Structure 1
Amino acid sequence: MSSRTSETETSTDQGQDGALRADRLGTAGLLFSVLAASAPLTVMAAVMPTAFATVGLVGQPLIFLVLGVVSALFTVGYAELSRRAHHAGAFYAHIARGLGPTVGAGASHVALASYCALQAGLGGLIGFGVCELIDHRFDVTIDWWVPALLAVALVGGLARLRVDLGAKVLGVLLLVEVALVVVFDAAALVQPAADRLSPHALNPHTLARGGVGTALCLCAAAFTGFAQAPVYAEETRRPGVVVRRVLFLAVGSVTALLVLGSWALTLAAGPRDIVDSAQKQGSGLLFALAGNTLGATFADVLHVLYVTGVLAALLAFHNVAARYAFAMGREGLLPAGFGRTRPAGGAPMAGSLLGTAISVVLVAAFALTDSRPPGDPTAPVTQMCAWTGAFGGLGVVVLMAASCLSAIVYFVRRGEAAPQRWRLLAAGLAGLALLGIAAYGVKRLPVLLGADPHGALGRVLPGLLVLVLVGGLVQGLVLRVRRPEVHAGIGRGNEARRTTPGSGTGQERATEHLTER
């Protein structure tokens, strides 16, 4: 193991109740947790039809392929930083390493707000899915917020489990979900609507009609889940090896599933008819095509698995938000109570309760302001899911871009620019692409949300994100002046231990143990 010292580190090790339990997750458990957040069935049922209908672009498989390449380039630098810094607040820890603790503090607040928003939106999506399913099968209408709140409560209970037990729950749901997606894809390949295996959707000329930027922004959210892997590094066996492996496996798996899934949708509907079908069927497109190809029973089972898939994604995002809150509490960015874990299973309970509370408040707020007729479940999709998804997705994309810049600065400052030149190049290309997606997403936000192009919503959501960032930066600056020892420990987790001078125990020099061999 090599070590190098360049910065002062302070102890944040607070004993067993202030640390996540180590050695709980292996490659399979971590991969299940990450892929559950990517929710391939949810993307096929909700994101892909929206992209087809909104943009009118048949070449959606190529959009997912481009996003997969960008994600792979991002992962090159991100995985190397993750190998060196095992931290439950992955994004902000990485950013603090390269861009400094103050910027890391700002990033921590953006990450926590983004993941809390994403999990709340998924709660609304469950409400929509359950209402649709019950109405279709039993002709019974219920208010969407009832299953939404039940799902939030269920996830809050599941989050109390040990992380490895939670990973098993996610693993079972994910395997069944992926199996049904593969069955649908295979059926579309064997029995395409046009009676021939058309490669039209894979033709680059399909992108010539425009709308590529909008499609990239719509589909980018499907690739935000894989970046969660380093959040579990402190709970993973051999994190320097496992986290890196899972990151690349997740990117490859998500890209393959989404490219094949979007192509299968065009085959099942017919390349000429997919846009029209998506505009007419909306979120019911996948289930209608599955019913035509594989029968009504398969479509019903697929619909049930869609709901459980959203539930799995909700649990995955909830766990990540809870760990960010835990990491921030441990390092003085939130009250110290957030930096404690549950003795029985090692779960970060205060962070979990915070995520649950935010979800309940948001569901209640959208339910109380819902002016649609009783039983109409579209509010959580057109408003709650769209708005929180746009806020959270934009936040994660910005954090990914900042992480790319941080990786470049980190390696250059450590004198590793030459041996890491290919990683720096990959990080630079990914960072530019991610910044482009974020900027275009802000510009086209009203279109993406189906809102008034001249309305305030397109400015409010990015404005809220900027406000969160500025609040975090101000906190970082205040800590730098008033509590420099806390400021120096931002992004350090439990790695550093230093006793204060004159404490009677002596002083250990701060040492970075960042390279695992």
Structure 2
Amino acid sequence: MALEQRTLTVPALVVMIIAASAPLTAVAGGVTTNYAVTGMSSVPLSFLLIGAVLLVFSIGYTAMSRHIPNAGAFYAYVAEGLGRIVGVGAAMVALVSYNLMQIGIYGMFGFAAASFANATFNTAIPWWGMALVAWAAVGFLGMNRVDFSVKVLGIIVAAEFLVVVVYNIMAFALAPQAPQPETAFNFSDALAPGMGAVVAFTIAAFMGFESGTIYNEEVKDPQRTARRATMIAIVIIACFYAFSAFAVAVGEGADNVIAASAENGPDLLFVFFAAHAPTWFVDLANILFITSLFAALLAFHNVIARYFYSMGRGGALPKFLAVTSRTTHAPIAGSMAQSVLGLIVIIAFAIASRGQEPMYIVFTMFTWMTNSAAFGLVLLMALTSFAVIGYFARRKTDDSLVTRVIAPSISGIALFYVFAQIIINFDILLGVEDPGLLGYALQGIVIIPGVLASLAAAIIRLTGKGSQPATELSVL
């Protein structure tokens, strides 16, 4: 029942982390949407601010990974730092959030792939047809060796970066007006009223950065690999996305970028390419946008499979979920469980989207699910910050005061601020004026399973049945 041991290196883990953030999707979709919806020019600055917060968060987070090499990461750390009852609740929030993120991306993938195929080959493939193709491929790769997935993701991520780099170069070369870095990186905007909405959008582009520690049972050096890979990935993501967001403003003109983003949305980069690049490059960029989504699907699938595995092994979920392949050592039961959930949701939305406009699936399945996931994951990160303090307060280690107290305190406060901004701006994130019952329902889908799981764990504790170590999170 053990996972494959000690095959992942720092570069391989960096690829896995960055693949989850989907660089081309983040720049084409996330950056332009941020400009359009918030109307703020400081989108590039927000990536540096969030990157700094997550770097501080990672100091304590990755330090815990050296002491607790558990594939459950978030929930295992919360269990050790804040207690088993809170840890069980965190486990369910994590599992729901990651599944919402992964499955929601099937909606965007299906829309983008079907739109491209239908426009290119004059077909009428429904979004769910393409989503099922991705679902089958992800399921197959998820049950194979993790280093095989790394090779696939490495090729995709490298191609994504290349396309964005080409765009950045072209944007500066063809800029309609002089670049205005003083506007894009105006640090006085950090406390501006609209910055809360900006960071609420921006942090979604980093989701998946924390997955490095989830592979700590499979890395070559559990004391260093996850820590180094996480730090490197955050720096790359923050700097690259900040510069690319600035390039978007340069390419459209600082005075026009917000209006252009509102008009074209995620198509902004491709409209730019269509005006200045050969047709074959525009097609290539579209294909890589689709493969970017596939890379994120596969990266999050691997994370979720390991969450199922860890929770099954610890007793928080049925034991059969801890079954691994005898040949590949992959968590096949967890992989299959995630695939089944994905299939159910794809079928449900395929039925719901009958007769609707093509963009319906983007506005619902993708937007609703991924933003709800970000809501849950940011909450988990904030809780984990304070779990770090609790863990080191009860154990004597050689970790510094900065690692044990100062860094997690700063990141915990900052992340709770971001979490509050997500709640305040949830209507903007969902793209509706008044989410009403929908907003409460989506937040409830994330929070209620955690509350119920914690209550169940508390009841079991009172009956005297809980006895195993918190690192395994057994509630039985």
The question of a shared fold, defined as TM-score above 0.5 by the shorter chain, is answered with yes
Distance (whole Å) between structure 2 residues aligned to residue 398 and residue 228 of structure 1 = 15
* 2:457 pairs with one of 473, 476, 480: 476
Counterpart contact for 2:106–2:131, Cα < 8 Å: yes
Structure-2 residue corresponding to 1:151: 134
Distance (whole Å) between structure 1 residues aligned to residue 404 and residue 272 of structure 2 = 42
Task: Report the TM-score when normalising by structure 1.
Answer: 0.87
Query: Alpha-carbon deviation of 1:417?
Result: 10
Counterpart contact for 2:313–2:321, Cα < 8 Å: yes
Query: Alpha-carbon deviation of 1:490?
Result: 3.3
- Cα separation, partners in 2 of 1:417 and 1:24, compared to 1, 3 Å: closer
* 1:385 pairs with one of 361, 366, 381: 366
Structure-2 residue corresponding to 1:4: none
- Cα separation, partners in 2 of 1:258 and 1:423, compared to 1, 3 Å: farther
Distance (whole Å) between structure 2 residues aligned to residue 422 and residue 31 of structure 1 = 22
- Cα separation, partners in 2 of 1:421 and 1:58, compared to 1, 3 Å: closer
1:197 and 2:179 correspond:
yes
1:153 is matched by which residue type in structure 2? A
Distance (whole Å) between structure 2 residues aligned to residue 243 and residue 208 of structure 1 = 33
Structure-1 residue corresponding to 2:471: 491
Q: Which of the pair has more CA radius of gyration?
A: 1
Structure-2 residue corresponding to 1:23: 6
Counterpart contact for 1:177–1:305, Cα < 8 Å: yes
- 356-365 or 207-216, which deviates more: 207-216
Q: Secondary structure at the match of 1:33?
A: helix
Q: Secondary structure at the match of 1:240?
A: coil
- Cα separation, partners in 2 of 1:387 and 1:51, compared to 1, 3 Å: same
- Cα separation, partners in 2 of 1:205 and 1:427, compared to 1, 3 Å: closer
* 1:395 pairs with one of 376, 384, 392: 376
Q: RMSD of aligned C-alpha atoms?
A: 2.0
Distance (whole Å) between structure 1 residues aligned to residue 89 and residue 102 of structure 2 = 21
Query: Alpha-carbon deviation of 1:214?
Result: 0.9
Structure-2 residue corresponding to 1:222: 205
Distance (whole Å) between structure 2 residues aligned to residue 381 and residue 185 of structure 1 = 26
Structure-2 residue corresponding to 1:322: 305
1:93 and 2:76 correspond:
yes
Task: Report the TM-score when normalising by structure 2.
Answer: 0.95
Structure-1 residue corresponding to 2:86: 103
Q: Report percent identity of matched pairs.
A: 33
* 1:114 pairs with one of 97, 100, 123: 97
Distance (whole Å) between structure 1 residues aligned to residue 86 and residue 456 of structure 2 = 10
Gaps of 5+ in 1: 1-17, 495-517
2:468 is matched by which residue type in structure 1? A
Structure-1 residue corresponding to 2:42: 59
1:133 is matched by which residue type in structure 2? F
Structure-1 residue corresponding to 2:218: 235
- Cα separation, partners in 2 of 1:483 and 1:302, compared to 1, 3 Å: farther
Distance (whole Å) between structure 1 residues aligned to residue 172 and residue 442 of structure 2 = 40
- Cα separation, partners in 2 of 1:276 and 1:492, compared to 1, 3 Å: same
* 1:35 pairs with one of 18, 21, 45: 18
Structure-2 residue corresponding to 1:463: 444
Distance (whole Å) between structure 2 residues aligned to residue 209 and residue 481 of structure 1 = 48
1:163 and 2:146 correspond:
yes
Query: Alpha-carbon deviation of 1:19?
Result: 1.0
Q: C-alpha offsets along residues 64-97 of structure 1, whole Å, 9 cap, x if unaligned?
A: 1111111111111111111211110011111111
- 202-211 or 94-103, which deviates more: 202-211
Structure-1 residue corresponding to 2:386: 405
Q: Secondary structure at the match of 1:20?
A: coil
1:451 and 2:429 correspond:
no
Q: Secondary structure at the match of 1:23?
A: coil
Q: C-alpha offsets along residues 399-446 of structure 1, whole Å, 9 cap, x if unaligned?
A: 100110000111122256993245421211111111111122112212
Structure-1 residue corresponding to 2:62: 79
Structure-2 residue corresponding to 1:126: 109
Query: Alpha-carbon deviation of 1:369?
Result: 1.4
